[in-house]
Structure 1
Amino acid sequence: MTSSASGRTEPYGTFRTDPSEFVNQRVLVIGKGNSAFETADSLVATAAVIHVAGPHSLRLAWRTHFVGHLRAVNNNFLDTYQLKSQNAVLDGDVRRIERQADGSYLVTVSFVRADEVTKDIPYDRVIVCTGFRIDASIFSDGCRPDLTVNDRFPALTPAYESVNVPDLYFAGTVTQSRDFKRGTSGFIHGFRYGVRALHRVLESRYHDARWPGRDLPADPEALAAAVLERVNRSSALWQQFGLLGDVIVLDGHGGARYLEELPVDLEGPPIGDGGHFTITLEYGPEHDKIDPFDVGVGRIRQNDAERAAEGHYLHPVVRHHRAGAPPVVHHVTENLENEWTSQETHVEPLRAFFARQAASVPA
């Protein structure tokens, strides 16, 4: 959107939401996320025409598994478009917005799917639903954090610390740069666990507090039981998939300590430099390219432990990390009800993995 629109459109955060104010009006909603479609849905009963515009392809949350993409609860508007109710989704860039003498708008849209065809379209209202960016002006030059993702968020280490300003930490939705457009750090049900991990990082670094965990023997059966107990009940690993993970730290003397909910790429204490295992919940590779409702797309059998790595849905992944070597990976096969309790399919293959890894470690 060009600067000519500044101050002349209505931002999502402040526009008047009473549908009766939009009776028989032509409305443009800029953006293709949940806020845009939520707004469009709310006006269907009163507005004459509603267009939702943006240059990128529409992505549905049920396919990508990213809750920031369009949720089903907000996509009723798509029916009014495809079933010809005079509403539409415009795939294009908004090049210019001009306020007319009568208070209406003339909007120039460049369509990306029609060889850059440009069209001027009249509207009575223009509502902007294009997200937010951090206001870095509150920081002085000596402590201004580096930004990332088109300068929308602070660039962070795995400990939620600014990459360029030591001892400056962030919590909440601004931490979504850590898993942008793929995880849940932009939402309360995700970043609440990131906040807890940050609290533990701060306690560890500044108050010499030990990361919460428990001791257990490093034998394969005990390790497998501990892992499956956690993945069957942990909401943090479920919500912060691939970002937070449990860690089993080996002491080299037949013992281990099971630590819960660490950033998976955190280095140093409390993990240390010795061998350890990480436990995460993850989707399969290219899971967002699979239509979950296409029955013609095959899936592995739920009891096929040998092909567990081919699973597209959320499932446990255990990695053995050793200095100077790539991690050795074990996938626990996906399960329709997310219950990894089968002795044959889940427990025994994981126990055997731990046994193999123990045998590979030099005495």
Structure 2
Amino acid sequence: MESTHQVVIIGAGPAGMQLSYFLNKAGVSHVVLERADIPGSFFATYPVHRKLISINKVHTGFDDKTKNLRWDWNSLLNDDDDFSFKDFDQSYYPSSDKLVEYMAQFATRYELPIQFNTHVDSITKANSQFVISCRSNKTYNANILVDATGIGELNVPNIDGIEHVIPYTEMSNDVSQFKNKRILILGKGNSAFETADSLMEVSANTHVISPKDFNFAWVSHYPGHLRSVNQGFLDTFFLKQQNAILNGTIASIKPTDQGKYLVDMIFSEDGEREINTYDHIVNCSGFKCNFDHYSADLKPDLCLMNKFPKLNHQWQSTNIDNLFFCGANMQCNDYKDSSTPFVHGIRHNAQTLAEILVNKLQNRTWQAKKIITEKTDLYDAISEQIRRATTIWFLFGNVYDVYALDTKNNFQFYESIPKLAFEHDELFQNFSGYTLEFSYKLPKDENEKPKFSTHGFLHPIIMKYQDGECINEIHMLEDIYSEWEDLDKLDNGIKEFIISGYFS
């Protein structure tokens, strides 16, 4: 049985569903193929200990749904005021079970064309079309293929004896088998510390190890680095409560006749080598993409230690035409530099990708959202985005709002343009006008730097371009409320910077 569509999406997680929602709105013929019997099946298993690290701030002091998305990291974008994740869970760090429930209702409410229990076996190309063959003996043909399968495969380090390690995927909330045992955890990400926290009450010793030290999210601003909700284990280390955090590599893991494991470690700081004994070892070294379903001649090029597909500025594979990626597997373009791997980044990238796909199908370029003809209106329009926009907020430093000067001395407003698209698309070559972004970076002007925290808090930045060159930038002051409602107080010269600009 065969069916043909303009677009086929593989994966009905947050990325696949959000993209499908916007393609539905645009009237694009498409189908979503999902191997599980529910949408968002990844979250039915992970995180193992069932608490998300994505923030769910219900009480913000605002009734504006768009603005409230800045503190809602779990809702998918939609046009209904009465449907959001807060209706399913009120917890600040919510339950992953509730996210699964929410996504199931999202798929039903918006009648997304998802084919469940549809496992993709192989992907080939014939006559410039993708041919997706499934175990159900169904074949789907498409002009455009979008891989939204995410990073659901556990990363397995190349270590002699790794087969003796318990995968994170097999962990559970029942930790009784670890009682009074000595445990080694591979990795220093959130899954590693989440697991370490769960073992603190039962283990005799818990050690975590990876070659490099970990990063705190509150220092790096990347929400995938170690989060405060998973930092309980740090107290036990620094207070010398039989636990340890180690920087090093593992040469081998060898079982003993007594059912224990000898781990040969090489410490990063001094190259010293030491063999330590553990009762159990758990692999929490993260996840990666899986490309087994692509035929040998259709494998996408990879990057970032071969964990992710290599992409161009439109999230299209660099070596396979019309193969796009959506979701956590988009990370090639802004790795650990924004919120791309999380639902609150995925949803906005998916909306932009939908626009890219519609433009491609209709043979057009980016469409301006509005035309601004008065200089006071330009400042008001930029102020509105500073107060409410969420895409530039979450994808900080990697997405711009663009205000392009046209031949009639008006400004064309292009919303949420990816940084790489702005730099590469012909439409923005020789660009004159302004860009608006949120970023943590400090001003280049040494006289301006003292006005900002050296830690670098998120704040709006406006850049002025002339004939393709950035000729000036100005930073709006940081807001202790993180709301940017009182722009007159925070302005720092932006109003004058805009109004005295290009208009005659």
| TM-score normalised according to structure 1 size | 0.86
Corresponding residue for 1:76? 232
Kindly indicate whether residue 284 of structure 2 is the aligned counterpart of residue 132 of structure 1. Answer: no
Structure 2 vs 1, CA of residues 3 and 217 (structure 1 numbering), >3 Å: closer, same or farther? Answer: closer
CA deviations 1:268-304 (Å, max 9, x no partner) are 3664654242211000259xxxxxxxxxxxxx9xxx8
Select 2:336's aligned residue among 166, 181, 202.
181
Corresponding residue for 1:242? 397
Kindly indicate whether residue 168 of structure 2 is the aligned counterpart of residue 168 of structure 1. Answer: no
Determine the C-alpha separation between the residues in 2 that align with 1:285 and 1:151: 33
Give the alignment's Cα RMSD to 1 decimal.
Answer: 2.6
Determine the C-alpha separation between the residues in 1 that align with 2:325 and 2:158: 31
Structure 2 vs 1, CA of residues 309 and 222 (structure 1 numbering), >3 Å: closer, same or farther? Answer: farther
Corresponding residue for 2:248? 92
Paired residues of 2:310 and 2:317 also in contact (CA < 8 A): yes
What amino acid does structure 1 have at the position aligned with 2:288? R
Select 1:332's aligned residue among 476, 480, 490.
476
Offset at 1:155? Answer: 1.3
Paired residues of 1:264 and 1:278 also in contact (CA < 8 A): no
Determine the C-alpha separation between the residues in 2 that align with 1:125 and 1:60: 27
What amino acid does structure 1 have at the position aligned with 2:184? L
- Written as runs of structure 1 = structure 2, the 5 A alignment for 1:314-353 is 314-342=458-486, 344-347=488-491, 349-353=493-497
Corresponding residue for 1:54? 210
- Written as runs of structure 1 = structure 2, the 5 A alignment for 1:1-363 is 1-113=157-269, 115-208=270-363, 211=366, 213-266=368-421, 267-268=424-425, 271=428, 273-285=430-442, 307=451, 312-342=456-486, 344-347=488-491, 349-358=493-502
CA deviations 1:95-114 (Å, max 9, x no partner) are 2111222332111111122x
Offset at 1:261? Answer: 1.3
- Identify the structure with bigger relative contact order (alpha carbons < 8 Å, sequence gap 6+): 2
Paired residues of 1:245 and 1:262 also in contact (CA < 8 A): yes
CA deviations 1:208-242 (Å, max 9, x no partner) are 57756532434432212111111211122111111
SS state of the match for residue 184, structure 2? strand
Offset at 1:40? Answer: 0.3
Corresponding residue for 2:68? none
Paired residues of 1:305 and 1:345 also in contact (CA < 8 A): no
Offset at 1:183? Answer: 1.3
Determine the C-alpha separation between the residues in 1 that align with 2:476 and 2:396: 15
SS state of the match for residue 170, structure 2? coil
Corresponding residue for 1:295? none
Determine the C-alpha separation between the residues in 2 that align with 1:161 and 1:230: 28
Determine the C-alpha separation between the residues in 1 that align with 2:393 and 2:478: 13
Offset at 1:205? Answer: 1.5
CA deviations 1:21-66 (Å, max 9, x no partner) are 2111111001011100000000111111100111211211111111
**Percent identity of the aligned residues?**
30
Offset at 1:154? Answer: 0.8
Determine the C-alpha separation between the residues in 2 that align with 1:33 and 1:265: 28
- Count of aligned pairs: 343
Determine the C-alpha separation between the residues in 2 that align with 1:324 and 1:274: 4
Determine the C-alpha separation between the residues in 1 that align with 2:398 and 2:203: 42
Determine the C-alpha separation between the residues in 1 that align with 2:414 and 2:468: 23
Paired residues of 1:220 and 1:351 also in contact (CA < 8 A): no
SS state of the match for residue 90, structure 1? strand
CA deviations 1:121-160 (Å, max 9, x no partner) are 1111110111122223432343322211111111112211
SS state of the match for residue 323, structure 2? coil
Paired residues of 1:284 and 1:311 also in contact (CA < 8 A): no
| TM-score normalised according to structure 2 size | 0.63
Gaps (5+ residues) in structure 1? 287-299
Offset at 1:343? Answer: 5.5
Structure 2 vs 1, CA of residues 342 and 310 (structure 1 numbering), >3 Å: closer, same or farther? Answer: farther
Paired residues of 1:315 and 1:335 also in contact (CA < 8 A): yes
